[in-house]
């Protein structure tokens, strides 16, 4: 008798579980492949405009001198700490992490653009 009762309860649980799984799977959110595939690479003009935007947000930057060839120190008037802040803002803007050794070499707008252009996962 115990086995029959147990068997009946197991079958009921299995049926309930099967129908619950069906309902749960029907309610699962759809995850689009695009969320997992690599995004289209940013083109140079998009990167340039976004970096210009980052630079415009810094009060210390001479707005009239922002150009693709501008040097952060010589042309834009930034000191070394300001340059670090700009690179950090670029990291945030493009959702990338720039290692310190690479960050030390980014001292012009064109080098920043080149770095982001080559970075996988920049968006």
Respond yes or no: is residue 100 known to be catalytic: no
Marked catalytic residue, from 79, 101, 102, 114: 79
The rounded distance, in Å, linking the Cα atoms of 87 and 97 is 10
Q: Which of 40-68 are b and which e, b meaning 16 or more Cβ less than 10 Å from the residue's Cβ?
A: eebeeeebbebbbebbeebeebeeeebee
CA 22 to chain centre: 35
By annotation, the residues acting in catalysis are: 79
């Amino acid at each position: 008798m115990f086995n029959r009762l147990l068997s009946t309860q197991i079958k009921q649980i299995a049926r309930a579980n099967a129908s619950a799984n069906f309902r749960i799977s029907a309610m699962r959110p759809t995850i689009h492949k695009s969320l997992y595939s690599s995004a289209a690479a940013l083109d140079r003009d998009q990167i340039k405009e976004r970096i210009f935007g980052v630079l415009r947000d810094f009060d210390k930057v001479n707005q009239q001198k922002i150009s693709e060839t501008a040097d952060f120190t010589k042309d834009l008037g930034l000191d070394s700490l300001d340059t670090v802040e700009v690179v950090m803002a670029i990291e945030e803007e493009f959702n990338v992490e720039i290692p310190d050794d690479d960050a030390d070499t980014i001292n012009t707008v064109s080098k920043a653009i080149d770095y982001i252009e080559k970075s996988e996962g920049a968006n």
